[in-house]
Every structure is written in structure tokens, then in C-alpha cells.
Amino acid sequence: MMNIAWFKRDLRVADNAALSSAINCGSVLPLYIYEPELWQQPDMSRRHYDFLKECLISLRADLKSLGLTLVTKTGDTLEILQSIHERHNVKSIWSHQETWNRWTYQRDIRVKQWALTNNIQWHEPAQNGVVRNIRTRNGWSANWNKEMRKPASIINTITGVVNEGSDTTPSPKQLRLSGDSCRSRQPGGRLEAQTLLKTFLYERGEEYSKEMSSPVTAFDSCSRLSPHFAFGTISVREAFSATEKRIHELKNTSPEERGNWMRALRSFSGRLRWHCHFIQKLEDQPSIEFDNMHPLYDGLRENDFNEEYFEAWREGRTGYPMIDACMRALKETGWINFRMRAMLMSFSSYHLWLHWRRPAVHLAKLFTDYEPGIHYSQAQMQSGTTGINSIRIYNPIKQGVDHDANGDFIRKWVPELRFASNKSIHNPTAANSRLTDYPCPIVDEKIARKTAAEKIYNLRRATSHREHAKKVFIKHGSRKSRTIRNHKDIKTNDNQGELALDTSTKYTSSSKNINDALVNARSHENKTLKV
């Protein structure tokens, strides 16, 4: 009998509880499965695949140093597992809990049933502080801190290996992936992640708090670890521990040496927690990938979707320089800082009045660091459909002035405006610039913003809005500064088909505390997450 260490989005040897546990159980087969159907989902792209392949090269080398061989297969997961089971008599499967898109969620439900049918133990240790089958958010933050301070898992002596051949690595064409050129994409792999973490903590990160909001500075001042968290070449725990170690080191230095480091690293550490906080929302409610968190927003935008606006937004041809520069930079590099991501989503949802789902899927394909839990939670936050967060309608002209005052970022990515003055570059139409290659704004910013705000706030005034918002907050709101308790039970019908058999959930809170907490949440959750 043998054990499978099934790699999914934990492509590392270090701090890998699934791998170390599988090794401790006896003979082990390290396995990665290329799933063609997954790669055909609308949120997947060539740049994701290219990054993945680089991560697997790194993983294969690290496993080889332990005396293990990474086996890769291509096809349906159940068929592959069944075939391996018939040849090797599988005793157990070890893989980290995966909180990802609906396709992987449904696949895992099928794997769970297959394992039960075949009397195979499927162990899914948690990673990154996300909790499965959570019954309340109370205490979540404290639990996250406890998890982050646990020692990293250690690989013990290899007691046995399983001989199994690998399939040929499928080509992008075989997976029906488009060209999707991303010439300036970050490279994948464990060494890249380790290098980024080290340079951020010791060289690049001192002005993180100040410089993360501007695309001019964020490419260098942010950690740039988000794609590595998404693919698991490094764990959040590793990043947290390294950050705490660096903070401890700085405490023993002079104020001059510390500079702005303490503030920057504490901010970064906090955002690691928020990273998991948002993934927890998708774990608790998988439907938010497709459905509004707050049901009162159903039908608000769906019937008004303007295809021409969507195409202009996608192509970076909206006539708003900061919007277009960010979209073009994202297409070329696979990354943009959080504030600009929020601005892109806000502009599509409010100024263009596009329902969030299709723009979110488009951005998912462009983000090398696509993480569904963060992505769809943020898409809904910036579209105003959560019901518990502040309505943030970013003025794209002001964002340009505030975060690219001299127009350097705009000139780089919108060459049509390279000869515009610093004064006119953020609003060339108003400045009467004769730049015929650049389009006029597709909507009037002030009118579009005012119209959208009126629609949203009129809906929020409804009595039923607050009642539903309470339920959303109890399920998803942060508990960092407040515990919700002592109230009547509020029952939900959110049967999400969680992997556990018991999917019913009850939430409790006092009405007064909820109302107070709702007010607090509207500002508290507007945090920078793409670290």
C-alpha cells in the first residue's frame, strides 16, 4: 500500500504539511495532475499556465534533492486516481485544503466521494489560516495568528518511494489556451519567491506603506509575492515568520537604521492576515464567485450591460489615461497594485455600469496572481454589492493626479500621450489637447459617477437592505476589533455543498452590536491586499 502527496496550489517542499504527512505514512508518490477541463474554464489563461510550469520545474528539483520524483499526469483526476489505485493500492491521499474556483470545488466533492467509496483516507490539512466549516467568525483573527506562529512542517526520513511514470507535459495548444503573451510576467518558482521575500524585507520594502498606492513606485516597493502565494511556492506562514524575524532584528537597531521599516513591515504583516481573511469568504460561501453577496443587488446592472463600454475598458481605450495605462500595464506584466485594481473595477461597475462578473473574469485571466477568494470578494466590494462596505467610486482623473502626478506611468503605457504636458496628460480632452490618436472619454465622469451613486444609495435606503446586510456581516465581516454575541439566532439557507457533510450554519449576534459593527466594517475592510 502507498500514499499519494497530491500537489495543487502548494508547489513547494518547505512548510508543506500534506507532503510531510504523506512521507510519514510510508511509501509516497508525489503527484501533480494537469486537468484539461480546469484550463478550459473562463478564468484561466496562458500566463497562469506558463507560471505554473516554472513552479513545477522548481518543485521537481526540490523533490529530487530528497530522493523523490514528481509524477505528472494529464487527464481527469478521478480516472487518474483510479488507475493509480489499481496498480499500487492507495492507502491515503494527502493534499492541502484548496479554496479556489467552482470547478475545483466540485472536483474535490467528487474526489471525496470516490475516496469514501474506495475506502481511501483523504487527509486535507489546512494552510494559510483559512478554516473549513467555520461556524462563526468570532476569534478568527486570533486563530490566524496562532496558526502563523506554529512551526513549519519538516520532512522526515523517506521510507519508501513508488515507481510510476509521468505523462508528457501538455502544450498550451492541447489545453486550448490562447497565446496570451505576457512578455514582462514575473517568473515562477521557489527561488524567485525566496529572493523576492528577502529583497523586500531587507532592501525594497522600507517605503512600502507610502509607495504601495502608486503604480509608479508599487512595482518595486510591494513585495510582489502574490503570484507565489497563489501557486504556493512559498507559504503565508513562511512570509509571516520571516517578517516577524526582521521586525525583531530591527528592534535592536538605532532609530536611524530603523527608518520607516517598522511601520512598513507591520503593515505588510497585517495584510498577510487580510489575504487569508478574504479567501475565507469564498471558503464560507463559494457562490460569491457568481452571485451577489447581498441579494438586493440582483438585477441592478445585469440588463444594462454595454458591450462597447466593456470592449473599450478591456482594450484600455476608455479615454481616461490612468484607466487605460493601468489596463495596458496589467496586460503586459500580469500585475498592478491594489489601488489601481480597485479603480479599474470601480470604474467598470459605476462609471460604465457593468455588472461585475464579466469584468472580474477578464481581470482574473490577466492577473498572474489570480486568487479567486480575494478576487471575487474584492470585485464585489468595488462594485458595491456586498452591502457592508463603503461605496468607493474612484475618480480616475484624480487618481492619476494623486498617484502619477508627472504622468510618467501614463506616458510609458499610453504612448499616444507621450507629448502631453504634465497638466493636460490626466484629462487631455479638457485641456483641448490635439491628440487625435487617443480616444475621447466614453462617458462623462461627473455625470456617470453621480448617476451611479444615486442608484446605489437609493437601494441602500430600503429597510430590507440593512436586514440582509446584517446577515452578510455576521457571515463575512472582520472580527478584529469586535466580537458579535448575545443575540437571537439568524438562520441562513446558504447550503453551499461544503465538503463536510454538515452544511447548515447558524450565526448569532446582538442587533446593536451588528449595527455598530456594520458602520465600522465599511471603513475597516477597505485594505490593501495585493502584497
Per-residue pLDDT reduced to its tens digit, 177-209: 987 879 899 999 999 999 999 999 999 999 999
Task: Name the pLDDT band for 513 (thresholds 50, 70, 90).
Answer: very low
Q: Are residues 425 and 481 in the same domain?
A: yes
The pLDDT, as a whole number, for residue 431 is: 66
Q: Are residues 238 and 89 in the same domain?
A: no
Q: How many domains does the chain have?
A: 3
The pLDDT, as a whole number, for residue 526 is: 45
User: How far are the Cα atoms of 145, 259, 397, 432 from residue 423, in angstroms, in the given order?
Assistant: 47, 34, 11, 11
Residue type, 240: F
Residue linked to cell 513591515: 265
The pLDDT, as a whole number, for residue 531 is: 55
Determine the average pLDDT of the residues in 409-416: 97
Measured CA to CA, the distance from residue 264 to residue 189 in angstroms comes to 26
Measured CA to CA, the distance from residue 48 to residue 9 in angstroms comes to 12
Q: Are residues 515 and 496 in the same domain?
A: yes
Backbone angles phi, psi at 31, to 5 degrees: -135, 135
Residue linked to cell 452591502: 387
Q: Is residue 130 part of a domain?
A: no
Please answer whether residues 73 and 34 qualify as being in contact, where contact means their C-beta atoms are separated by less than 8 angstroms. yes
Cell numbers describing residue 236? 503565508
Determine the average pLDDT of the residues in 429-450: 85
Q: Are residues 105 and 81 in the same domain?
A: yes
The pLDDT, as a whole number, for residue 432 is: 66
Least confident window among 7-11, 118-122, 509-513: 509-513
Task: Name the pLDDT band for 499 (thresholds 50, 70, 90).
Answer: very low
The pLDDT, as a whole number, for residue 180 is: 82
Determine the average pLDDT of the residues in 56-71: 97
* pLDDT of 119 above 60: yes
Determine the average pLDDT of the residues in 249-255: 96
Measured CA to CA, the distance from residue 368 to residue 226 in angstroms comes to 9
Task: Name the pLDDT band for 157 (thresholds 50, 70, 90).
Answer: confident
Q: What is the CATH number of the domain that holds 112?
A: 3.40.50.620
Per-residue pLDDT reduced to its tens digit, 77-91: 999 999 999 999 999
Determine the average pLDDT of the residues in 36-46: 97
* pLDDT of 250 above 90: yes
In terms of DSSP bridges, do strands 2-7 and 28-34 run parallel, antiparallel, or are they unpaired?
parallel
The pLDDT, as a whole number, for residue 390 is: 86
The pLDDT, as a whole number, for residue 433 is: 57
The pLDDT, as a whole number, for residue 282 is: 97
Per-residue pLDDT reduced to its tens digit, 467-494: 999 999 999 987 665 544 433 322 333 3
Measured CA to CA, the distance from residue 312 to residue 438 in angstroms comes to 12
The pLDDT, as a whole number, for residue 500 is: 29
Measured CA to CA, the distance from residue 89 to residue 302 in angstroms comes to 50
Q: Are residues 367 and 469 in the same domain?
A: yes
Q: Is residue 136 part of a domain?
A: no
Query: What's the maximum distance between 2 C-alpha atoms anywhere in the chain?
Result: 76
Choose among 275, 16, 234: nearest CA to 144. 275
The residue out of 280, 299, 319 marking a domain boundary is 280
Q: Are residues 314 and 272 in the same domain?
A: no
The pLDDT, as a whole number, for residue 490 is: 26
DSSP E strands in 161-210: the ranges are none
Task: Name the pLDDT band for 159 (thresholds 50, 70, 90).
Answer: confident
Determine the average pLDDT of the residues in 118-144: 95
Determine the average pLDDT of the residues in 41-63: 97
The residue out of 231, 262, 280 marking a domain boundary is 280
Choose among 14, 30, 33, 96: nearest CA to 68. 30
Q: 340 or 508: whose pLDDT is higher? A: 340
User: How far are the Cα atoms of 149, 283, 328 from residue 50, in angstroms, in the given order?
Assistant: 33, 27, 20
In terms of DSSP bridges, do strands 71-74 and 90-94 run parallel, antiparallel, or are they unpaired?
unpaired
Q: 429 or 262: whose pLDDT is higher? A: 262
Q: Are residues 308 and 220 in the same domain?
A: no
Per-residue pLDDT reduced to its tens digit, 160-180: 889 999 999 999 999 999 878
Q: Is residue 137 part of a domain?
A: no
The pLDDT, as a whole number, for residue 478 is: 78
387 Rama class: left (phi>0) / alpha (psi -120 to 50) / beta: left
The pLDDT, as a whole number, for residue 179 is: 77
**Domain extent for 108:** 2-125
Q: Is residue 71 part of a domain?
A: yes
Q: Are residues 235 and 320 in the same domain?
A: no
User: How far are the Cα atoms of 130, 210, 384, 458, 525 from residue 476, in angstroms, in the given order?
Assistant: 13, 28, 15, 24, 11
Measured CA to CA, the distance from residue 141 to residue 240 in angstroms comes to 14
pLDDT, averaged across the chain:
90
Determine the average pLDDT of the residues in 217-235: 98
324: Cβ contacts below 8 Å, ≥ 6 apart: 316, 317, 318, 413, 414
The pLDDT, as a whole number, for residue 483 is: 47
The residue out of 77, 107, 125 marking a domain boundary is 125
Per-residue pLDDT reduced to its tens digit, 345-385: 999 999 999 999 999 999 999 999 999 999 999 999 999 99
Q: Are residues 237 and 293 in the same domain?
A: no
Please answer whether residues 257 and 420 qualify as being in contact, where contact means their C-beta atoms are separated by less than 8 angstroms. no
The pLDDT, as a whole number, for residue 298 is: 96
Neighbours of 151 (CB within 10 A): 8
The pLDDT, as a whole number, for residue 489 is: 28
Q: How many residues does the chain have?
A: 531
Q: 436 or 254: whose pLDDT is higher? A: 254
Is the Cα dihedral 238, 14, 108, 57 positive or negative? positive
Please answer whether residues 132 and 499 qualify as being in contact, where contact means their C-beta atoms are separated by less than 8 angstroms. yes
Please answer whether residues 9 and 100 qualify as being in contact, where contact means their C-beta atoms are separated by less than 8 angstroms. yes
Least confident window among 304-313, 353-362, 426-435: 426-435
Q: Are residues 316 and 264 in the same domain?
A: no
3-state DSSP helix/strand/coil % of the chain, to nearest 5: 50, 5, 40
The pLDDT, as a whole number, for residue 498 is: 29
Q: Is residue 157 part of a domain?
A: no
The pLDDT, as a whole number, for residue 40 is: 97
